[in-house]
């Protein structure tokens, strides 16, 4: 286990290094002078000189990269081009909202997908199976932003059950916090859930066809007990894999959904940075999202190894 | 019906079913795939003939008739400037399909050769190329596309490049995986021992045998590329006004949502139907060509 862990962590560090190079290089690919582009019509010579000096854009590329990386490792990602605030604090401020939404969405996805997938597999070929499959097919093809807008139209504007957008901190009012969380979480969660449903279905279906299930049936165990004791433990591995893969999709979906629901997370921050041409802020936001993404992948791999020791060997 | 009892001799010379015919038959036996194919054919036709079919011009402004609901003259209603939503949805299909095809073409043009070289030569070349691909894979796809567009500037051409780049590693990985399997086959070793050059082995013997998974992935990627383009246009980074794109129309419709929900509903349905058709065809192709391959959904996890 420890050998596998070391290897995986090393791999992740290499990937992070690559990510940092890409993120750093981004600013250098901006046609022309990024500081000038960022300031645009708000051009001011003093501000320009300060930002330019701070960003060290006049030094050679390699030197700049290492200086930037060194600072980044100590948590200093420079100052926002837009309002000269430290990028790290701007990013960290937004982090809790994004993490909350990601987990809430994953929760929705799993709560929907597990029962739907199992029922679909057990009733395979029956009308209920077709209904679940059709629903998940729609979910898979659904644009997340459209789904979000439709939920707002239905649940917020027409039925007035839930707020259409915004964020309330948990400490301020747990009930309002939850009410604001529901629609964005469902928007991403149901789409992810559709994907996971199909995997749960095929994993359970495969386990149901095994000899040990026939034996269990022959012993006269109830169908529910067979599923709980014999099928699910064997279906976990593919399910965990796809849930892990889905997290990548979830993180991507957050960007769009945060914008629709005015959710103050990292995704919306990244998009604001794009609109303001605030390249330092964009670097920071992208770096943090990629870091979270890689960390989640690592965690999924570790869970995977716990579930299936064979992986360690290969 | 009377059938003469057949002797064993008569049954023998059964007409051999060719592989492509067999694939086609499996595909058209799948009702969803056929439905997808038909819808896609209609979509392409609609995109090609867009100007002829569209009842109004895409930018025919008609303020007195703004925000009117679906009617006989405006099937999908009108938008905030009185433009015909149906016409805009029809014209926008062209952009969506175009971006989809060009972006995926870009990903194919780079990803497949990278996969071929990495899988065939292995060793250092393989490590370097695949680590590079891993880096691209370390970003959630849409975020990488947004970052690329931030640098290149918004617009349809840059959106194609951004989406293409994001999808390149998927093709590289899939191609490489299949090449490694095929390279072990006897006929490759035979070709090599006959003194065939690497280029010939790769293009004549390996490529044709790894096409199946690539074709399937292409179809599925088209679905996701169209979704990505819609998302980027929705965020204001893709197609620029006044040109219509499904994602853009939805973003514009948001401000008038309560008065004119049709402004957002119809473009969304168009995206949904297009993406679903590609998915159906992709799933059908996978079953016909390569049943062992991952399904649509697994790739959506990785690629959207």
Q: For residues A275 and B99, which has the higher predicted lDDT (pLDDT)?
A: B99
Cβ atoms of residues A146 and A187 within 8 Å: no
Contacts of B267 in chain A (CB under 8 A): 146
Q: What is the pLDDT of residues A48-100, one digit of tens each?
A: 777 777 666 667 778 888 888 888 888 888 878 777 788 888 889 888 888 88
Question: Which residue from A81, A67, A68, A79 is spatially nearest to A35, judged by alpha carbons?
Answer: A81
Question: Where are the extended beta strands (E) located within chain B?
Answer: none
Whether B244 shows a pLDDT value over 80: the answer reads: yes
Confidence of residue B301 (pLDDT cuts 50, 70, 90): very low
In CATH, the number for domain A93-267 is: 1.10.3720.10
Cα atoms in the 13 Å half-sphere on the side-chain side of B90: 23
Cα atoms in the 13 Å half-sphere on the side-chain side of B293: 26
Q: What is the pLDDT of residues A5-33, one digit of tens each?
A: 888 888 888 888 888 888 888 777 776 67
CB-nearest partner of A145 from B139, B141, B231: B231
Confidence of residue B222 (pLDDT cuts 50, 70, 90): very high
- Per DSSP, the three-state class of B67 is coil
ipTM above 0.85, yes or no: no
Whether A152 shows a pLDDT value over 70: the answer reads: yes
State the Rg of chain B over Cα. Answer: 24
Whether A314 shows a pLDDT value over 50: the answer reads: no
pLDDT of residue B21: 80
Q: Which of B138, B233, B272, B276 should one mutate to test binding to chain A, selecting the residue with the greatest count of A CBs within 10 A?
A: B138
Q: What are phi and psi of B290, to 5 degrees?
A: -155, 80
Q: What is the pLDDT of residues B59-82, one digit of tens each?
A: 777 777 777 778 777 777 777 777
3-state helix, strand, coil in chain B (%, to 5): 75, 0, 25
Cα atoms in the 13 Å half-sphere on the side-chain side of A18: 19
Instruction: Return the sign of the alpha-carbon dihedral for residues B168, B173, B179, B180.
Output: positive
Q: What is the pLDDT of residues B278-299, one digit of tens each?
A: 988 888 888 787 655 444 444 4
Cβ atoms of residues B85 and B78 within 8 Å: yes
Whether B209 shows a pLDDT value over 60: the answer reads: yes
- State both tokens at A289: 């999202």
Site of tokens 């889905």: A246
Q: Is B18 left (phi over 0), alpha (psi -120 to 50) or beta?
A: beta
Q: For residues B27 and B93, which has the higher predicted lDDT (pLDDT)?
A: B93
Which of A18-27, B47-56, B66-75, B154-163 has the largest mean confidence?
Answer: B154-163
Q: For residues B214 and B255, which has the higher predicted lDDT (pLDDT)?
A: B214
Q: What are phi and psi of A290, to 5 degrees?
A: -65, -40
Residue of B nearest to A244 (CA): B301
CB-nearest partner of B250 from A146, A249, A267: A146
Kindly determine whether residue B143 and residue A270, on different chains, have CB atoms separated by under 8 Å: yes
Kindly determine whether residue A248 and residue B271, on different chains, have CB atoms separated by under 8 Å: no
State the Rg of chain A over Cα. Answer: 24
pLDDT of residue B15: 57
Query: Exposed (0-12), middle (13-18) or buried (19+): which is A86, by Cβ within 10 Å?
Result: middle
Kindly determine whether residue A141 and residue B223, on different chains, have CB atoms separated by under 8 Å: yes
CB-nearest partner of A259 from B235, B268, B279: B235
Contacts of B225 in chain A (CB under 8 A): none
Mean of all residue pLDDT scores within chain B:
82
∠ CA A64-B149-A262 to the nearest 5 degrees? 105
Q: Distance (Å, rounded) from C-alpha B271 to C-alpha B78? A: 19
pLDDT of residue B17: 64
CB-nearest partner of A137 from B236, B258, B276: B276
- State both tokens at B116: 């071929």
Q: For residues B297 and B141, which has the higher predicted lDDT (pLDDT)?
A: B141
Q: Distance (Å, rounded) from C-alpha A299 to C-alpha A301? A: 5
Query: What proportion of chain B, given as a percentage, has pLDDT over 90?
Result: 20
Q: For residues B58 and A229, which has the higher predicted lDDT (pLDDT)?
A: A229
Which residue segments constitute the domains of chain B, with CATH numbers given? 27-54+78-298 (1.10.3720.10)
Q: Where are the domains of chain A?
A: 93-267
Q: What is the pTM of this model?
A: 0.84
Kindly determine whether residue B152 and residue A29, on different chains, have CB atoms separated by under 8 Å: yes
Helical pair A232-260 and B141-152, crossing angle rounded to 10 deg: 30
Contacts of B297 in chain A (CB under 8 A): 140, 194-195, 198-199, 242
Mean pLDDT of B198-225: 88
Helices (H), A221-278: 223-226, 232-260, 266-276
Q: B14: how many CB neighbours lie within 10 A of its CB?
A: 7
* Structural element, H or E, at residue B188: helix B186-193
Q: Distance (Å, rounded) from C-alpha A258 to C-alpha A271? A: 10
Q: What is the pLDDT of residues A170-207, one digit of tens each?
A: 888 888 888 999 999 999 999 989 988 988 888 888 88
């Amino acid at each position: 286990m420890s050998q596998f862990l070391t290897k995986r962590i090393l791999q992740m560090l290499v990937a992070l290094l690559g990510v940092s190079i890409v993120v750093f290089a981004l600013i250098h690919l901006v046609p022309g002078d990024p500081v000038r582009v960022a300031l645009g019509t708000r051009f001011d010579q003093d501000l320009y000189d300060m930002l330019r000096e701070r960003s060290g854009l006049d030094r050679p590329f390699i030197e700049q990269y290492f200086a930037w990386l060194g600072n980044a490792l100590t948590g200093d990602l420079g100052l926002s081009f837009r309002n000269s605030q430290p990028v790290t604090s701007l990013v960290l401020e937004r982090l809790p909202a994004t993490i909350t939404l990601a987990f809430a969405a994953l929760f929705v996805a799993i709560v929907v997908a597990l029962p739907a997938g199992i029922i679909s597999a057990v009733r395979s070929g029956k009308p209920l199976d077709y209904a679940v499959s059709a629903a998940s097919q729609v979910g898979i093809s659904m644009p997340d932003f459209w789904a979000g807008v439709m939920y707002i139209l239905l649940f917020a504007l027409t039925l007035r059950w839930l707020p259409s957008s915004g964020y309330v901190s948990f400490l301020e009012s747990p009930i309002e916090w939850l009410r604001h969380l529901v629609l964005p979480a469902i928007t991403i969660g149901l789409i992810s859930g559709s994907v996971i449903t199909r995997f749960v279905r095929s994993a359970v279906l495969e386990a149901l066809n095994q000899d040990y299930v026939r034996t269990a049936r022959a012993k006269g165990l109830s169908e529910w007990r067979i599923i709980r004791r014999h099928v699910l433990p064997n279906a976990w591995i593919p399910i965990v894999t796809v849930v892990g893969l889905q997290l990548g999709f979830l993180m991507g979906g957050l960007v769009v959904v945060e914008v629709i629901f005015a959710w103050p997370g990292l995704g919306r921050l990244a998009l604001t940075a794009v609109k303001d041409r605030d390249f330092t802020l964009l670097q920071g936001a992208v770096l943090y999202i990629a870091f979270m993404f890689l960390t989640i992948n690592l965690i999924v791999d570790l869970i995977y190894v716990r579930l299936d020791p064979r992986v360690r060997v290969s | 019906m009377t059938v003469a009892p057949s002797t064993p001799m008569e049954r023998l010379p059964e007409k051999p079913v060719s592989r492509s015919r067999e694939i086609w038959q499996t595909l058209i036996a799948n009702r969803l795939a056929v439905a997808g194919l038909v819808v896609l054919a209609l979509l392409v036709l609609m995109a090609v003939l867009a100007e002829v079919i569209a009842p109004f011009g895409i930018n025919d402004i008609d303020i007195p008739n703004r925000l009117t609901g679906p009617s006989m003259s405006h099937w999908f209603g009108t938008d905030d400037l009185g433009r015909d939503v149906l016409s805009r949805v029809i014209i926008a299909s062209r952009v969506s399909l175009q971006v989809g095809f060009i972006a995926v073409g870009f990903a194919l043009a780079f990803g497949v050769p990278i996969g071929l070289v990495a899988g065939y030569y292995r060793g250092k070349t393989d490590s370097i190329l695949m680590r590079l691909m891993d880096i691209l894979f370390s970003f959630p796809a849409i975020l990488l596309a947004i970052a690329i567009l931030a640098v290149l500037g918004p617009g349809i051409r840059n959106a194609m490049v951004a989406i293409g780049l994001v999808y390149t590693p998927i093709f590289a990985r899939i191609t490489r995986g299949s090449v490694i399997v095929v390279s072990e086959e006897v006929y490759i070793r035979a070709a090599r021992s006959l003194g065939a050059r690497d280029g010939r082995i790769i293009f004549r013997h390996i490529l044709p045998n790894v096409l199946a998974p690539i074709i399937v992935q292409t179809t599925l990627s088209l679905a996701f590329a169209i979704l990505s383009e819609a998302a980027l246009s929705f965020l204001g980074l893709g197609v620029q006004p006044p040109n219509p794109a499904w994602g853009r129309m939805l973003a514009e419709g948001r401000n008038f949502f309560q008065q004119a929900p049709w402004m957002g509903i119809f473009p969304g349905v168009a995206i949904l139907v297009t993406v679903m058709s590609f998915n159906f065809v992709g799933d059908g192709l996978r079953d016909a060509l390569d049943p062992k391959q991952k399904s649509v959904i697994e790739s959506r996890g990785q690629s959207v």
